[in-house]
Structure 1
Amino acid sequence: MEELKDKVILITGGTAGIGLACTQAYVAAGACVVVIGLDNDSVAETMNIIGDDHLGICCDVTRDADVRESIERTITRFGRLDAIHNNAGIGSPSKPLHTTTDEEWDFLMSVNIKSILLTARHGVPHLKASKGSILHTSSLVGEIGQENHAAYSATKGAVNALTKSMALDYALDGIRVNAVLPAAVMTPMLHTWAHEQPDAEKVFDFLKDIHVLGYCPAGDVIADACVFLLSDKARFITGVNLPVSGGAELGYRRNF
């Protein structure tokens, strides 16, 4: 079933992890996908997977000129833009706030938050024309916090607030804005985070146990929710920060 047939979807960070899973799911659902990646090799590898009917662009999502050019290339190629999925993000450093450097703080804020500003700045005029949709990949830690991950948690709390404010700002233009909130997903970024922890060997058992459903998923479970939120089946849903977390937000459970 092609829930996204002929929709033009631009996804940042679409070449790895959750982003790659979403890219593949959007293609399978019939969309024309514009994949934004940080380096030429990852973009080329992704294009080999999804084919030439789509568009791959190497872009630094923290740079206004790069984002503007990416939107322009999308319109030149496809003539329209139906959705922007702000998926690009970084998870490091994993440390308390007082030990976070200025450089680490600024980089996190630029990738995880400023990139949303830039895609909105250059993409919203086109989304107004199509009455399109914006989707953010956020995180459950933006709602409940996380030990030794203060700056990252702050960026995701900001994304969650942006989701609601942007939904209000653009509602009269027919643009819906939502976010998905994973708890943990087995991605390269998660593996990096795990190995930054004091006892990395115990982390993967922890990642399984925090999910009430009993396992830490791959990116496909997030991608399925994203396909729904960008489809017409979600046409009356906006301003929602949707946990896709296996029930991790529900609290403690007995696992012994």
Structure 2
Amino acid sequence: MIEVCDISLRIGQHEILHDIHFCVEKGKILGIIGPNGSGKSTLIKVISRLLVPSSGMVTVDGREISAYSPKMLARKMAVVSQEGFAPLPITVREAVAMGRYPYHRLFRSNVARDAEAIQRALMRTGLTGLADQPLEKLSGGERQRAAIACALAQEPEVLLLDEPTTYLDIGYQIGILDVVREWRQETGGTAVLVLHDLNLAAQYCDCLLLMENGKITQYGGVEEIIEANLLAGVYGVKPLVITHPNLHLPQILLERSS
């Protein structure tokens, strides 16, 4: 589905990404983890064509992303940045409706299908009651959910979410990740998530990509990546890795160094 082929990115004298290569199978959820400044958000921008790599390429369904027109790529892929929506003087419904732009032709649109997709996205993200509220009156977390709803209304095959749980409390963090998982189950879509919370990454992702200093340190299954010595080498703090009593997945506890 997605193949990142030997991507490197240099800005001035600084190499931001170095020799990044991995594949994401259709229908999988990939979590990108790593410390601040490791290149996670930059990698999302390269995959989404917001940044052009210095070398290498990204393909979706075997086709290089540069070969897609903007509208065709938008039908394939939806992106949510960690900033979400700005506090604009438009309603939540109007903001979510922007996700339907890739399907509009000159003076033509499928009004019924647009309305259905918008309403479904509002319901999935718990925003139905706020649909007519202006974005500028919403909290940061509510605007983040509106940005995710806009991406869902886009009906993409791929979701790229850069820290989708930013500004959200614990309940909404789980709720949004549940939405992503349900979307994957219903549509067979593929998701790539940048996450800081390693426990949530372990619970919701099929595989993990661990980055450090613009490079891939390790790419593999959850049990392979959520490993105390490996994480200690990257984060500088050795965690206690335990098994979740219900999910039977590795989870992390931290303890004071002294």
Which has a greater percent of strand?
Answer: 2
Higher Rg: 2
Structure 1 length-normalised TM: 0.34
> Please, what TM-score do these two structures have when normalized by structure 2?
0.34
Which of the pair is proportionally richer in helix? Answer: 1
